Every structure is written in structure tokens, then in C-alpha cells.
Amino acid sequence: MKTFTYRTADDVSGGLEPGATFLAGGTNLVDLMKLGVATPDVLVDVTRLGLDQIGDLPGGGLRIGAGVRNSDLAADHRVRRDYPVLSQALLAGASGQLRNMATTAGNLLQRTRCRYFMDATMPCNKHAPGSGCPAREGDHRNLAILGASPSCVATHPSDMAVALAALDAEVRISGPAGERTVPVTELHRLPGDAPERDTVLEHGELITAVDLPPLDLAARSAYRKVRDRASYAFAVGSVAAALQVTDGTVRDVRLAFGAVAHKPWRAHRAEEALRGRPATRESFRAAADAELAAAEPLRDNAFKVTLIRNLVGSVLEGLS
């Protein structure tokens, strides 16, 4: 591991010197440092900034502090009652020990599990820009089918972020230039020709909270994760959904897919295709197809198209 210095952050707008990065739970960053993939000079610990509360928003909804631990967020009674998809997504991720350490913002900012990215001896446009992407021809069974680019086919590994994307969550950001708010669906970038940048955050910007707006239909919501073993594995495909059905017709719906793209994939096209349609497995799958028409699978991951389509049908049927 490269030698680094450590300090605690004094306030949320302190910014960062070049070569510095924020440290929260460390469940991903410290691993990457041990692997030589992340090589920060300075770690700025933000766990003492008091960002660890879940509060009620004045007009309804919740403000989740960036430092709230994943296990605490999953167990919060308001989350479980009003946004069950979020609790389910959190509990589907990692292990009990990791959830006790991992934070809300850290979960959002975790990096891809692409095996080339995780190995500092391999070429990878994300950890060594310009070095190439062996995944496109090599191992990509669990990489992107949507929104990839010639330079990167990585997926975002978070479960929680998929639920937040379905829930219209907003990310509150603080930085040297002030505060701003970004929809969680716009926090992560598509790789394009700059895959080294996962998100729209500027250097020194800090996520302080995630706001969950009031969303009535979220009370009927669910997360379904598919993985290669029963526990402690990243998704090979997942669906977060909320559904409101009246008289057999879809009144409103939220849908997001995980493990298919460089970001949690909000399925706007599928949602549009569903509103006002009969709540049947056929229309659910047709809506999924509308979204997946843009899929560009690689040699070994075309199964994800089928998998997501099936999951959408099954999860929405379960909610209707």
C-alpha cells in the first residue's frame, strides 16, 4: 500500500487538497488501496462530521445523512414502512459486518467490481486511463449491457443505489463552490471516453445527505437481486420497483435496474410504457423490452437481457 497521511475533516465545505480523498466506512476504498488500485496521498475522514442522522423532511420524506451506516438505514422503521425497496436492497448487499461499517454516501461512491479494474497489474481505462479495456474481449459476463462505451463496460455494483434511483432520491452535495443538489440518477456518469470519472462530483465535493421525497407508491415497492450464490455476492442483475395499480391498471410505477450499466439504471422508457396499461405479466415484460431495446450485450452477457425482462415481470407481478 502506498504511504498516505490521515486527517479528520473539520467541516463539510473544507474541500480537498490534490491527491486527497474522503474516507468514510472504508469498506471499498481501503480494499482498493491494499490492491494498489486507489493510491491517495491523503485520507480525510468524514465520519465525525455528524452526518449520521435520518431526519424527517418538512414536506414529508426523509433526509438520510451521508454517514448513516447501511445497517442502520436498512433497519429504520420509516424506511421499512415507507420505502421497503430501500431496506431490501441494503440487506441484499454485502454482509452484516460490512453493512455495519459502510455508509450511505460510501455505498453510492463504491467502485466497479470489474475484475480488470480491481487488478492493478491489468490494463484498465478506469484505473489507468488510456491503457485499454481487456474486458470487452475478455471476462465481461457480469458487465454492462446498457450505456457502455468502447473504452469501458464496467457496471456499478451497488444495490442501494438502484433502490434510490427508483425512489427519485436527490443527493445533497457540499463543496468549495457551495452547495448543490443532484438527482441520484444523475450522480453517476456513463463511461463515455472518460471512464476514470464515476460521478459528476468535482474534486473536494462531499455528499452530505440523500433526500428521499415523499412517494406514496413506494409503500408498495420491492427489490429483487439475482446473484451467483445465495449470499455475499454482487448482483448479476437486479430490479427495484414501486407500483400503484387501480382497477387492474397501472397508475404509476418506478423501475430501476442494477448490474447492467455504469450507473444504477432508471428505466424511464419502461415506466412510460406501463402507465395506463393493464397490470399483467405480459405488459410488464413488454415494458421491460421497451427499455432493453437499447441493450448492446457483449459475447457473454446477453443473458442479462432475459434476466432483467423476467425479473421485471416477476417483481411487478408480485407488487400488483
Q: By the criterion CB under 8 A, which residues form the site for other proteins?
A: 1-3, 36, 113, 115-116, 118-119, 121-122, 134, 137-139, 141, 226-234, 236-237, 300-301, 303, 306-307, 310-311, 313-314
Helix (H) or strand (E) holding 246: strand 237-246
> 183 forms bridges with which residues in the sheet?
170
Comparing CA positions, the residue from 305, 270, 73, 287 lying closest to residue 169 is 73
Return the number of the residue (122 or 166) whose C-beta is nearest other proteins: 122
Distance CA 144, CA 156 (A): 9
Find cell 487538497 and name the residue. 17
3-state helix, strand, coil in the chain (%, to 5): 30, 25, 50
Return the number of the residue (216 or 300) whose C-beta is nearest other proteins: 300
Rounded to a whole number of angstroms, the minimum distance from the CB of residue 314 to other proteins is: 5
Return the number of the residue (280 or 314) whose C-beta is nearest other proteins: 314
Amino acid at 47: T
8 A C-beta contact, residue 279 and residue 248 = yes
SS3 labels along 191-219: CCCCCCCCECCCCCCEEEEEEECCCHHHH
Return the number of the residue (18 or 96) whose C-beta is nearest other proteins: 96
Amino acid at 312: V
Helix (H) or strand (E) holding 226: strand 221-226
8 A C-beta contact, residue 251 and residue 275 = yes
* Crossing angle of helices 281-292 and 303-319, rounded to 10°: 140
Return the number of the residue (26 or 192) whose C-beta is nearest other proteins: 26
Collapsing DSSP to helix, strand or coil, 171 comes out as: strand
Return the number of the residue (41 or 228) whose C-beta is nearest other proteins: 228
Q: What's the grid cell of residue 243?
A: 407500483
Rounded to a whole number of angstroms, the minimum distance from the CB of residue 9 to other proteins is: 25
Rounded to a whole number of angstroms, the minimum distance from the CB of residue 123 to other proteins is: 8
Return the number of the residue (141 or 251) whose C-beta is nearest other proteins: 141
